[in-house]
Structure 1
Amino acid sequence: MNDEYVTGFRARLGLPSIIDVHTHFMPEQVLRKVWGYFDTSGPLLGHREWPITYRDEEQVRLKTLRGFGVSAFTSLVYPHRPDMAAWLNEWSADFAARTPDCLHTATFYPEHGVDSYVEAALAAGVRVFKVHVQVGHFHPGDPLLNEVWGMLQDSGTPIIIHCGSGPAAGEFTGPEPIAELLRRFPRLRLVIAHMGAPEYSQFLDLAADYDDVLFDTTMNFTDFFEAADPFPIHERARLRDFGDRILFGSDFPNIPYTYGHALQSLERLELGDDWLRRVCHGNAARVFALP
């Protein structure tokens, strides 16, 4: 699909802009390793071929995203081992400082010292955290994170968390660890990445119990995702019910299709223009206090 679709999509809906809460900007050496892993179709990807559509230099990627009419986005970084999160946060803080339309993003890992660098990130004005349970291979209820979850609950800072078992299950993925976490910290503002795929129904159940649980649409409903982890038809009504708690995410640049297809996949759900306006702009504008 030609990316001109994006321009027409915004015009049809009268959208002032798109807010994309799930985009990846990383240190160059880290991003190259991530892309290298995608090229191998490794086990964390379910051994699926996953070509990168927007494999460009950083400034080109920024120009592309802005060209789609995206007014705010994230620089989601995530560690896969100890002694990595703090310097990723330093990079993200610098990136946000030189990229005003990027929401200041940070991450964390269960390790000694995590309380200090999360507290420092909050003091520096971080807007959103990213946690990747599958890649990090840790239980979100790890005792080393107790103070962190408490701080984030008190601050109300959104946490975009990849905790579903797609595209490949991990030891700590799935709804049970998140349910356990929410029983202890019921006011956490978790944004369940990828709508919790493939455990869509269970994560929607959690949202019914916890008012601060949100979702992002990252890769959901696209042909690529529907082929492996289709969203259940019987849950379509709950997409409408939770229309104020679903935020648009794309996974740009690491997507095997065009940006326009991500939006067209939402439009073909036929949930209405108002739903699309809320998902693609209004909900995130409210959550992040953006125009």
Structure 2
Amino acid sequence: MEEEEGVTSSNQPDTRISSPFLWRGDSYPPILDSETPDHLERIRSLGIPYIFDIHTHFFPETVMKLIWRWFDNVNWAIGYRLPEKERVERLHHNGIERFTTLNYAHKIGMASSLNDWTYANFSNWKGAIPFGTFYPEEGVLTYVKKAVETYGFCGFKLHCEVSKLNLNRPELADTFEYLQKKQIPILIHTGTAPLPGEFTGIQFFQPFLETYPNLKVIVAHMGAHEISAYASLLATYPNLGLDTTMVFVDFLATGKAEDVDAAVSYLETYQDQIYFGSDFPNIPYNLNHPITRLLDLPMSDLAKQKILYQNAENLFFK
């Protein structure tokens, strides 16, 4: 694989050293893919035909570049700063044959156009599971229904920190009730990692879940920095799930090492409600890293099969 613009090489300093987010240990995992990622043979030996990544991002190019600029300002190296077509190729190169098209709005009038853009483009991304988004604004239920009933979207993404979104806003009640009735999943960044927001945290999420107890919800990053609080809800709410995005890796943006280590036991206990996520392409290491770290964790082969593949298959195709 050739090196991409903006990533480290042997004659470039590794900007990750200056990141305000901590790393585990004294060395950093490589950013570039290897020619043959070593996890491919391992997943085949477990009977996993391919990996289903429930947390991958697709934005219009102008928006994506603005997002990357924010990451650059905190020395968060983007491992896959590539044209869209090449990014999809890298997913397949790593055995990720199904993946979501997550994006989100941060202002009025943006969500519907993002949904239109996703619909117009997702068929170009082999293996893409189309996701929409929405925002508390006039007409929200109308364009959400269009995304489901006309566009055939399989889920939605919300980001409480970036969107400054309170899930309990009354303007969204009809939309959440509609999605609950239709059993359309929502993947929500509601935790306080890597940075807290005005409406992030379990104190906002739990009342929301109590209001819509049958809504299919997947909490991004396992709810970090409050993983135990979110995990404590899993037994009570069978439609609730957590994704592993950026949790069990050497980059500690989602919590201290001891907090991450303490969360390992949840993977076995709640193996039917945990989904693999990567945060591709906005990760400061290659895709092999989160997959290998997950495969190395002390849990059963069955749990690994469910988390890396089967749970997401069941969520969308059962």
- Say yes or no: does 1:253 pair with 2:253: no
Q: Within 2, Cα distance between the matches of 1:226 and 1:32?
A: 21
Paired position in structure 1 for 2:82: 56
Equivalent residue for 2:128, pick from 81, 99, 102 = 102
* TM-score scaled by length of structure 2: 0.85
Q: Is 2:162 aligned against 1:162?
A: no
The 1:106/1:229 distance shift into structure 2, 3 A limit, reads farther
SS of equivalent residue, structure 2 residue 157: strand
The one-letter code of the counterpart of 2:69 is G
Shift of 1:101: 1.4
Contact 1:247 1:284 in 2 (8 A): yes
Which residue, out of 27, 38, 49, partners 1:5? 38
Which of the pair is proportionally richer in helix? 1
Q: Does 1:203 align with 2:230?
A: yes
Aligned-pair CA distance for 1:226: 6.9
Counterpart of 2:99?
Answer: 73
- CA spacing shift, 1:86–1:175, aligned 2, 3 Å: same
1:194 counterpart SS class = helix
SS in 2 for 1:244: helix
2:166 to 139, 147, 153: 139
1:39 aligns with 2:39: no
Residues 1:156 and 1:219: Cα distance change in structure 2 (over 3 Å)? same
Q: Does 1:284 align with 2:317?
A: no
8 A Cα contact 1:166 1:229, kept in partner: no
Contact 2:246-2:254 at 8 Å conserved across structures: no
Q: By how many angstroms is 1:234 displaced?
A: 4.3
Sort the Cα spacing of 1:178 and 1:5 in 2 relative to 1 into closer, same or farther, 3 A. same
- SS of match in other structure, 2:245: coil
Query: Per-residue CA shift, 1:229-282, capped at 9, x if unaligned?
Result: 443544433321100111111011100011111011112221122211111011
Aligned to 2:4: none
1:117 matched to 2:143: yes
Deviation at 1:227, TM superposition (A): 7.9
Q: Larger C-alpha radius of gyration, 1 or 2?
A: 2
Range moving further from structure 2, 230-239 or 276-285: 230-239
Is the partner of 1:214 in helix, strand or coil?
Answer: strand
Hey, what's the Cα distance between the residues in 1 that align with 2:79 and 2:197?
Answer: 26
Bigger shift: residues 217-226 or 151-160: 217-226
Structure 1 CA distance for aligned equivalents of residues 262 and 84 of structure 2: 40
The residue identity in structure 1 corresponding to 2:134 is: F
Distance 1:33 1:232, change over 3 A: closer
Task: Give how far 1:183 is off.
Answer: 1.3
Q: Secondary structure of 1:147's match? A: helix
Query: Is 1:225–2:252 an aligned residue pair?
Result: yes
Structure 1: unaligned runs, 5 residues or longer: 42-48
Equivalent residues of 1:217, 1:246 under 8 A apart: yes
Please say if residues 197 and 229 of structure 1, whose CA atoms lie closer than 8 Å, have aligned partners that are also in contact. Answer: no
Alpha-carbon separation, structure 2, partners of 1:26 and 1:227: 23
Residue 24 of structure 2 is matched in structure 1 by none
Q: Partner residue of 1:270?
A: 298
Is this contact kept in 2: 1:6–1:259, CA < 8 A? Answer: no
Distance 1:157 1:227, change over 3 A: closer
Residues 227 and 169 of structure 1, relative CA distance in 2, 3 Å threshold? closer
Distance of 1:83 and 1:13 partners within structure 2: 45
| 1:85 and 2:111 are equivalent in the alignment | yes
**Is the CA contact 1:215–1:246 (under 8 Å) kept in the aligned structure 2?**
yes
Specify whether residues 236 and 65 from structure 1 end up closer, same or farther in structure 2 by C-alpha distance, changes over 3 A only. Answer: closer
Q: Distance in 2 between matches of 1:150 and 1:87?
A: 23
The CA distance in 1 between the partners of 2:186 and 2:124, in whole Å, is 22
Single out whichever of 263-272 and 277-286 deviates more from structure 2. Answer: 263-272
2:5 maps to none
Q: Deviations over 1:82-103 (max 9, x none)?
A: 1100000001111223334111
Given the superposition, is the C-alpha separation of residues 281 and 227 from structure 1 closer, same or farther in structure 2, using an over 3 Å criterion? closer
Question: How far apart are 1:104 and its partner, in Å?
Answer: 1.2
Cα RMSD for the two superposed structures: 1.6
SS at match of 1:106: strand
Render the CA deviation track for 1:48-82: whole Å, top value 9, x for unaligned.
x2100111001111111111121211111101111
In 1, distance between residues paired with 2:262 and 2:40? 31
2:267–2:303 Cα contact (<8 Å) kept: no
